[in-house]
Chains A and B, each alone.
Chain A
Amino acid sequence: QVQLVESGGGVVQPGGSLRLSCVASGFTFSRYGMHWVRQAPGEGLEWVAVIWYDGSKKYYGDSVKGRFTISRDNSKNTLFLQMNSLRAEDTAVYYCARDECSGGSCSLDYWGQGTLVTVSS
């Protein structure tokens, strides 16, 4: 069965950096695009970034562009999110999710359980 397991969250000071990981299993990781989505405490979902199945294309949300970098290692079935210049407003649960496209339409069909990032001094 498809599993996505995030790790790497924790408490970091403003201006600091953190690297999140998402290990995938139960499917051929190298055939799927992958997303990061976050959710601030008590708030809604915010799309963060996507990476193509082969890493050839990456897109970011406006609030993280230039500070966050999405990457992947298909040999290790792992997705990453490098977060730099962190701000208090980056505090959130970060989810990784699989991008499923069929018939020209896509969706996020599997999600991890999330990892909490807290930016605080």
Chain B
Amino acid sequence: DIQLTQSPSSLSASVGDRVTITCRASQGISSYLAWYQQKPGKAPELLIYAASTLQSGVPSRFSGSGSGTEFTLTISSLQAEDFATYYCQQLNSYPQTFGQGTKLEIK
């Protein structure tokens, strides 16, 4: 099975900051990676698919990059509504897997 490791596991930042979250795969997954945002008590929401394609309706301050084994999610200028937990998911092969999550908190 493909393991996904996110770093950091938690992150404190301020409104307006630029933040980057990394997701590393235990083997190459091409660009078959998605990013999700989850707020407490809510279902996850899709942010980015195919490693770098922004889902319709998602603000342009979110961006994704990478291929193979290393991927990043960047938020260019944090807004109050961005404080949440973020997960990467590999869709290269079954069983699909998620990273352990990165909790983004207000500093």
Q: Taking beta carbons and an 8 Å cutoff, which residues of A are in contact with B?
A: 35, 37, 44-47, 50, 59-62, 95, 100, 103, 105-109, 111-114
Query: How many positions in chain B have a CB within 8 Å of any CB in the partner chain?
Result: 25
- The verdict on B19 contacting chain A, using a C-beta distance below 8 Å, is no
B46 touches A108 (CB 8 A): yes
Q: Please, could you name 20 A-B residue pairs with CB atoms under 8 Å apart, sorted by A?
A: A35-B96, A45-B38, A45-B89, A46-B98, A47-B96, A50-B94, A61-B95, A62-B95, A95-B44, A105-B49, A105-B53, A106-B34, A106-B49, A107-B50, A108-B46, A108-B89, A109-B46, A109-B55, A111-B43, A111-B45
Q: When chains A and B are docked, how far (Å) is the Cα of A61 from the Cα of B45?
A: 21
Q: Contacts A62-B1, A111-B44 known; A44 to B50 CB distance under 8 Å?
A: no
The CA-CA distance from A105 to B95 in the complex, in Å, is: 16
Q: Is the interface of B mostly helix, strand, loop or mixed?
A: loop
Contact of B50 among A60, A103, A112, A113 (CB under 8 A): A103
Among B38, B96, B101, the most chain A Cβ lie within 10 Å of the Cβ of B96
Determine if B74 is an interface residue (Cβ-Cβ < 8 Å). no
Structural contact, B87 and A105, CB atoms closer than 8 A: no
CB-nearest residue of chain B relative to A99?
Answer: B91
Q: Whole-angstrom distance between the alpha carbons of A60 and B50 in the complex? A: 22
Question: Assuming A106-B32, A111-B44, what are 7 further A-B pairs, CB within 8 angstroms?
Answer: A35-B96, A45-B98, A47-B89, A95-B43, A106-B91, A108-B44, A108-B46
Q: Closest residue to B99 on the A side, CB-wise?
A: A44
